[in-house]
């Protein structure tokens, strides 16, 4: 079937990948489990309940360009956070061969897919309507994560991208020959890109660079009995702290929400240094990275979002250019 697999209805893709997940579970010695797809967007995530009643979360990378070395680095960092930080994160689960990354040929797509399994987190995702208490705790968690990452070093052979380029290591679908933007729209976004990179370069020259989560939003944050947990470290890499904050702030709607998160951060450590325009640049960059993803995604539901998302993105680009130029 090959590439045609990704043109199938989502339900058929999920059914095929669920069967594939059950095969991967054999590497963990789990031969009889309840497996259900709980997230099917950028990657596919499955809830797993073994015959002994133990629950896990298995993530299979279906869109991600992350290599096995990237995933091994992710696991090493999360294990470090498990041991030292007091931050609530899931625990990576090793296979019977003491490996953390599982791979297999998914026959229907014709691709070799990689997976990683974590312990299950109880609770509810905070989603897009977090409380002020939750946002304060999110800010505290980001700050603690930054504290614990400052002196952390990866083992030899484990690699993560550095986010000092516009596309954060992902493929360019906005400006390359693959772009379907009009000349006018591309020219407008190119102006914004150049300014975003100016502010990014300045931040990298003046700020410490260490591993950041790079995907702090309400669907990667679990709330259970007043406790916050962080998961989905698939996008982690080396960056500056302002980039992590920008991602988190991008998904908030009001100045009061922004303040709650930033005050939580400041209760643990001082905010990183950045100008108002630098933060606006990073916020717009997040928007454009998501736009780039919509141009290349195989997810049919996400593809349908593109026209409206592009229109709104161009409005934000124009506003940003006006703000910078005064």
Exposed / middle / buried, residue 325 (Cβ in 10 Å: 0-12, 13-18, 19+): exposed
In what order do the strands lie in the sheet containing 227-230? 124-125, 221-224, 227-230
Res. 2: pLDDT tops 80: no
- pTM for the structure as a whole: 0.94
Residues 133-161 have a mean pLDDT of 94
* CATH number of this structure's domain 2-120, picked from the four choices 1.20.120.1080, 3.40.50.360, 4.10.110.10, 3.30.200.20: 3.30.200.20
Res. 131: pLDDT tops 80: yes
- In this prediction, residue 3 carries a pLDDT of 73
Q: What are the φ/ψ torsions at residue 170 (nearest 5 degrees)?
A: -95, 170
How confident is the model over 82-91, as pLDDT tens digits?
987 778 999 9
Residues 70-95 have a mean pLDDT of 93
How confident is the model over 272-325, as pLDDT tens digits?
999 999 999 999 999 999 999 888 887 778 888 999 999 999 999 999 999 999
DSSP string, 11-74: HHHHHHHHHHHHHHGGGGT--SEEEEEEEESSSEEEEEEETTS-EEEEEEESS----HHHHHHH
d(CA 43, CA 218): 17
d(CA 36, CA 132): 32
- Return the CATH number of the domain spanning residue range 132-325: 3.90.1200.10
Output the CA–CA distances (angstroms, integers) from residue 77 to 70, 121, 159, 180, in the order listed: 11, 18, 11, 38
Grade residue 1 by pLDDT with cuts at 50, 70 and 90. low
Grade residue 171 by pLDDT with cuts at 50, 70 and 90. confident
Residues in Cβ contact with 272 at an 8 Å cutoff, skipping those fewer than 6 apart: 207, 240, 241, 242, 245
Domain ranges, ordered by start, for the chain:
2-120, 132-325
Residues 228-254 have a mean pLDDT of 97
């Amino acid at each position: 079937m090959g590439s045609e697999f990704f043109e199938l209805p989502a339900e058929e893709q999920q059914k095929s990948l669920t069967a594939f997940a059950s095969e991967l579970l054999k590497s963990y010695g789990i031969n009889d489990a309840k497996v259900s797809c709980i997230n099917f967007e950028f990657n596919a995530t499955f809830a797993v309940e073994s015959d002994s009643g133990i629950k896990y979360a298995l993530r299979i990378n279906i869109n991600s360009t992350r290599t096995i070395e990237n995933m091994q680095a992710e696991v090493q960092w999360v294990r470090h956070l498990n041991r030292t930080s007091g931050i609530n994160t899931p625990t990576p689960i090793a296979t019977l061969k003491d490996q953390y990354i599982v791979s297999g040929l998914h026959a229907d797509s014709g691709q070799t897919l990689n997976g990683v399994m974590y312990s299950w987190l109880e609770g509810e995702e905070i989603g897009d309507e977090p409380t002020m208490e939750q946002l304060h705790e999110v800010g505290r968690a980001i700050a603690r994560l930054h504290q614990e990452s400052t002196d952390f070093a990866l083992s030899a052979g484990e690699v993560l991208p550095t986010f000092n380029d516009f596309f954060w290591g992902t493929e360019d679908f906005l400006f390359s020959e693959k772009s379907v933007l009009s000349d006018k729209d591309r020219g407008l976004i190119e102006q914004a890109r150049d300014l975003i990179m100016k502010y990014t370069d300045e931040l990298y020259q003046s700020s410490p660079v260490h591993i950041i989560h790079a995907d702090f939003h309400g669907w990667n944050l679990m709330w259970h009995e007043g406790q916050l947990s962080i998961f989905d470290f698939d996008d982690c890499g080396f960056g500056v702290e302002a980039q992590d904050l920008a991602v988190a702030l991008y998904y908030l709607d009001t100045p009061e929400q922004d303040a709650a998160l930033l005050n939580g951060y400041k209760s643990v450590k001082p905010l990183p240094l950045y100008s108002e325009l630098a933060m606006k640049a990073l916020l717009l960059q997040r928007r454009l990275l998501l736009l780039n993803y919509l141009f290349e995604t195989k997810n049919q539901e996400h593809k349908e979002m593109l026209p409206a998302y592009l229109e709104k993105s161009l409005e934000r680009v124009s506003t940003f250019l006006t703000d910078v130029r005064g």
